[in-house]
Amino acid sequence: MLKDHWEEYGRRQPVEAHVRKVMGHLRDCRTAALGGRLQRCDCCGAEAPVYNSCRDRHCPTCQTLRKQQWVERRQAELLPAPYFHVVFTLPHGLNPLVRANPARLLRELFATVAWVLSHFAADPQWKLAGQLGFVAVLHTWTQKLMLHYHVHCLVPGGAWNHATGTWRSANRHYLFGKEALCKAFQARFIRRLQSLRRTGRLRFDGTAAAFAPDSAWDALIQSLWATPWVVYPKATARRPERALDYLGRYTHRVAIGDHRLRALDQATVTFDWRDRTDGNTLKQLTLPTQDFIGRFLLHILPHGFAKVRAFGWLAGRHKTARLTAIRAALKAPAPESPPVAEKTMARILRLTGVDVTLCPRCKVGHLMVVTQLPPARAGPS
């Protein structure tokens, strides 16, 4: 689809340089443009080229192995404690402002989430009085690929007091009050917006131009105070690995995977989506191809922006020492670490049970690399 329609989209619409670069990567992924290797079966002699993946974090298809590696590393950090999945969502009324200031306001979103959770953990009212450690992952999309800025947090149910070397566990079914979290999130983010406006650190061009006049800005702020903000804290299942695997689906790709695409012609794209308001029913949506590309581009992050972040005692270079101390306080052994020097083919076989070296023709021999294939051309950015 990208090969056939991306150039037309680029001619019709202004596209930022880093977005063009990303789309060039996705267009060339697993094609001769990126080079690869020629493989030959050691039994029947059949040959097949295997082209390199783009490894771009926005690619819907080539980040599966990296995702699994990330999940395995996080599994090695799990504690014998209840875990909570907490979701912080920005109101859609802020979408135009975030689009005009993506890096700054998404950083503020992470900072606000971290501030709220850290302050609640330190507040004796919530009976933890210590420091949390948690992982946060940014999502920007709905099932229909529209903008929906929200952060998913996986939070161990307990707080670490470094001064006393003690761990205080949370109730298995309850972390913090939902309404209190919502109000704190709302107040903190709005005040940060007002500070950024006063100090001239917000852009008001493009989608945010309507908010430039003081009267329009004041109306926006009033509407944000009047809008119910959403924070959804939920205890995970007994096995936090499930919540971790859910987060992992989105750490190394964006918006939509190939498995959701159902039909493509010269004018339209049809894809699956789940209607959460109708019992999570699977439905299909057909869009003009140019509109589909436009929706996909909404979710390409600013260059260098980290969409996965760790906070508290899970952040920084002292993480390993902190985890060791916490496990000692809990009298819990460290989980088994995944193999470090494991080769890619062996990892795929271990994780999926699929031997990707097996010859697809004779089903007996194994494919061996016989030569490297240079890039057919340098893919334009």
Write out pLDDT tens, residues 319-345.
999 999 999 999 998 777 666 667 777
CA distances from 126 to 15, 41, 42, 167 (A): 47, 63, 64, 14
SS3 content of the chain, % helix, strand, coil (to 5): 40, 25, 35
Alpha helices for the chain (secondary structure H): 2-12, 17-28, 64-75, 95-100, 102-122, 178-198, 214-226, 240-248, 289-297, 319-330, 344-352
Judge contact between 111 and 132, C-beta under 8 A.
no
Report whether pLDDT(379) > 50: no
As a whole number, mean pLDDT of residues 271-290 equals: 94
pLDDT bucket at 15, cuts 50 / 70 / 90: confident
69: exposed, middle or buried (C-beta count within 10 Å: 0-12, 13-18, 19+)? middle
Model confidence at 3: pLDDT above 80: no
* Number of CB atoms found within 10 A of residue 121's CB: 24
> What pLDDT does 339 receive?
63
Determine the average pLDDT of the residues in 23-38. Answer: 92
Closest CA to 182 of 113, 125, 118, 95: 113
Determine if residue 206 is left, alpha or beta; phi over 0 gives left, psi from -120 to 50 gives alpha, anything else beta. Answer: left
Pairwise CA distance, residues 92 & 98, whole Å: 10
Model pLDDT, residue 380: 44
CA distance 176 to 78: 20
The single residue listed with the structure tokens 């859609």 is: 92
For the beta carbon of residue 109, count every other beta carbon within 10 angstroms. Answer: 23
Measured distance CA(103)–CA(89) in Å, rounded: 17
Dig out the tokens for 254 from the structure. 């964006």
pLDDT tens digits for 202-256? 999 999 999 999 999 999 999 999 999 999 999 987 777 777 887 877 787 778 8
Contact between residue 47 and residue 371 where contact means Cβ atoms under 8 Å apart:
no
Closest CA to 297 of 3, 10, 4: 10
What's the pTM? 0.90
Residue matched to tokens 């090695």: 76
Cβ contact 220:93 at 8 Å: yes
CB 357 within 8 A of CB 41: no
